[in-house]
Amino acid sequence: MIVTDTDKLLLTGSSLPFCNAADPIETSVTLDKNKQAIFGYAQSGVVCDGNVELTENTTITYVLVQSEQSPKGLRLTGAGFTNPFDGHIEKVTVSSDGQSIQLENNIENSGVSKYQFILESEENDLLLVSPDPQVINKGQQPPM
């Protein structure tokens, strides 16, 4: 039974679409029965892969969505980069409550920038690191 756009993607075997940088990306972290963290990304109820593809300077916003299966007191503390010197992301800002993070992109540097979110919770003193979403800078597109 197809109920949502996400159902359509899953039933057709399609890969998840990129997220749209124009809207906040809802980021969820849940724990499975073995206490393993599972990250998910969505926009307007449609699952996306956490990655964004850009053709202009943009601020990408990820918003943490809490659920009963989320670690207690989960909050974002920052982002780590596989290459922080590539010039794709110029600035990272975490909200004072740790529930959102913004990444300011510089489109002048084409290519891929991979990053991981760093989170903490009240459950222990260890830090949680996300799988790596990425920004794909396609470069500026010529005006039409």
Give pLDDT, residue 72: 95
Kindly list the distances between the CA atom of residue 21 and the CA atoms of 67, 107, 119, 121, in Å, as whole numbers in the listed order: 23, 13, 21, 27
Give pLDDT, residue 107: 85
Q: Say if residues 16 and 25 touch (Cβ distance below 8 Å).
A: no
User: How far, in Å, CA of 128 to CA of 102, rounded?
Assistant: 18
Taking the chain (144 residues) in runs of 10, the rounded mean pLDDT of each run is 46 68 94 93 91 90 95 96 89 98 90 92 93 72 53
Kindly list the distances between the CA atom of residue 64 and the CA atoms of 14, 46, 99, in Å, as whole numbers in the listed order: 25, 16, 5
User: How far, in Å, CA of 77 to CA of 117, rounded?
Assistant: 8
Give pLDDT, residue 144: 54
Q: Say if residues 91 and 101 touch (Cβ distance below 8 Å).
A: no
Give pLDDT, residue 139: 65
Give pLDDT, residue 109: 81
Q: Say if residues 39 and 130 touch (Cβ distance below 8 Å).
A: yes
User: What's the token pair of residue 139?
Assistant: 């470069």
User: What's the token pair of residue 56?
Assistant: 């202009």
CATH 3.40.225.10 fits 5-123, yes or no: no
Sorted by where each begins, the domain ranges of the chain are 5-123
